[in-house]
């Protein structure tokens, strides 16, 4: 068992996509980086739908080939049924030559973490960070418990910079007391589980049994329910189904009652019930997460950076989670690399990084949460990002914003940014067309 060093240049908390990618960027730059992950990988994780935007980041770290060799399902786009209106988006319509993916996140995340190790990062699984002592601003102390052996051994490691990629536990945001749950008319709860032998939605708007996956490209299927929504994401040997509803809908329920509510709701919904009719629920697979969306007011400082879900979590209706994590990892490590070269400017670098990340989170939140998107969103930052996006990427997002009833706030910002009008006439008919029916 390798010993955890007493010091390093950069300490990363968490081995998910944000943390592992950050560690890879730093290690490949020759920086001494240590990553501490409390779980033992591979580990279970939700969030199986990835959009094509991820490839530019996997190319940067050199992990693309390993992902391609795993043979995850390539998805062609998405279908939504929202307030009884059916829409479809195909990535190829917007110039994307590489697909989105449906991935088993335990396998996908493990590929990224092992790539960090092979790139030179010192990765330690089953080590839980307990506290961060910032009393020494030059070399903060990270207190941890090493659970790899028979005894739980406490230890301390010093670092010049720290990256919090701890996911929903939001280690630093909670320590600083800056985590803000998005509270509005509804607070949301997510429940998800897995099915065997479910049918899937194909790119041709029909449904197929799982044995047709080698012949028909799948799409992510999303539909609205009363004040919420559901997802259906086919994987290689099972299907991920999630239900996002106001927390009050399951208030007072125990785990067994939640599972019954979940299965009954899914079995009664149009379209989804047809996809699940031949399927068997995998017993014990139901999980849930309350306080669904949140943000933090302070995510970067002179010697720390909060990235990925440790900084904020946005309703994943448009599958932005992993993309946000990989983007955060890239910009945070760029700031740290520059800070190591010129420590006098490290506060300025961190401020620039925070602005970039808050811009990206605000963009995703405004798109995903509609009226709820005003929480933690800096409108000027979002409009600035809209102006700099490549035209085809912006067109894809604007078309996507028409697929739900949450688009008013986002499209208002696009109009104010002066980018909406340039596409009003150029949206081709097949990109904007509402589908008459699905043949499930």
DSSP states along 178-210: -EEE--SS--EEEEEEEEES--EEBTTSBEE-G
Q: What is the mean pLDDT of residues 173-195?
A: 82
Write down the pLDDT at residue 372.
46
**DSSP per-residue string spanning 64-124:** HHHHHHHTPEEE-EEEEEETTEEEEEEGGGGT--S-EEE--HHHHHHHHHHHHHHTT-EEE
% the chain with pLDDT above 70:
92
CA distance linking residue 372 with residue 358, whole number of Å = 16
**With bands split at pLDDT 50, 70 and 90, how would you rate the model's confidence at 395?**
confident
CA distance linking residue 216 with residue 253, whole number of Å = 40
Q: Is the pLDDT of residue 326 over 50?
A: yes
Other CB atoms within 10 A of residue 55 CB: 20
Write down the pLDDT at residue 414.
85
As a whole number, the mean pLDDT across the chain is: 89
**Full-model pTM:** 0.93
Place of tokens 């700031």: 335
- Distances, alpha carbon 209 to alpha carbons 121, 201, 214, 219, 275, in Å: 42, 9, 11, 14, 9
For 284, which DSSP code?
Answer: T
Question: Do 74 and 101 form a contact (C-beta atoms < 8 A)?
Answer: yes
Q: What is the mean pLDDT of residues 64-77?
A: 97
CA distance linking residue 171 with residue 179, whole number of Å = 10
Domains of the chain listed by start with CATH number: 7-48+104-180+294-355 (3.50.50.60), 73-103+183-292+389-440 (3.30.9.100)
Provide the 3-class DSSP secondary structure of residue 60. helix
- pLDDT tens, residue by residue, 362-379: 888 777 765 444 566 778
CB-based contacts of 366: which residues, under 8 Å, 6+ apart? 373, 377, 382, 409, 410, 413
Place of tokens 């697929």: 403
């Amino acid at each position: 068992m390798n010993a955890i060093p007493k010091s390093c240049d950069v300490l990363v908390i968490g081995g998910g996509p944000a943390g592992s990618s950050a560690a890879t960027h730093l290690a490949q730059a020759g920086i001494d980086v240590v990553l501490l992950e409390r779980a033992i990988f591979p580990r279970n994780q939700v969030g199986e739908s990835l959009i094509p935007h991820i490839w530019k980041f996997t190319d940067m770290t050199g992990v693309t080939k390993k992902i391609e060799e795993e043979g995850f399902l390539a998805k062609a786009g998405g279908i939504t049924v929202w307030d009884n209106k059916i829409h479809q988006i195909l990535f190829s319509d917007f110039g994307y030559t590489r697909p989105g993916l449906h991935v088993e996140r335990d396998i996908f995340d493990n590929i990224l973490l092992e790539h960090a190790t092979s790139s030179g990062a010192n990765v330690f699984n089953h080590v839980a960070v307990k506290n961060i002592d910032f009393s020494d601003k030059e070399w903060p102390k990270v207190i941890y418990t090493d659970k790899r052996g028979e005894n739980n051994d406490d230890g301390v490691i010093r670092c010049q910079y720290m990256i919090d990629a701890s996911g929903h536990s939001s280690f630093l945001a909670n320590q600083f007391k800056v985590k803000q749950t998005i509270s509005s008319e509804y607070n949301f709860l997510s429940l998800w589980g897995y099915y065997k032998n479910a049918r899937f939605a194909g790119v041709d708007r029909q449904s197929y049994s799982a044995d047709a996956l080698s012949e028909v490209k799948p799409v992510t299927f999303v539909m609205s329910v009363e004040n919420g929504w559901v997802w259906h994401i086919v994987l290689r040997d099972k299907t991920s189904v999630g239900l996002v509803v106001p927390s009050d809908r399951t208030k007072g329920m125990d785990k067994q009652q939640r599972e019954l509510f979940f299965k009954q709701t899914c079995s009664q919904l149009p379209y989804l019930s047809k996809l699940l009719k031949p399927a068997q629920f995998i017993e014990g697979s139901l999980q849930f997460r309350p306080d669904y969306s949140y943000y933090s007011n302070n995510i970067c400082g002179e010697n720390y950076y909060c990235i990925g879900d440790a900084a904020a979590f946005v309703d994943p209706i448009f599958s932005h989670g992993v993309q946000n994590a990989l983007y955060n990892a890239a910009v945070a490590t760029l700031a740290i690399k520059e800070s190591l070269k010129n420590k006098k400017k490290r506060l300025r670098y961190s401020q620039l990084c925070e602005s970039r990340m808050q811009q990206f989170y605000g963009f995703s939140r405004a798109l995903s949460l509609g009226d709820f998107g005003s929480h933690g969103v800096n409108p000027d930052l979002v409009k600035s990002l809209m102006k700099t996006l490549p035209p085809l990427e912006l067109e894809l997002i604007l078309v996507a914003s028409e697929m739900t009833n949450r688009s008013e706030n986002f499209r208002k910002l696009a109009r104010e940014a002066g980018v909406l009008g340039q596409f009003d006439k150029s949206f081709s008919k097949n990109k904007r067309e509402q589908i008459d029916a699905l043949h499930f």
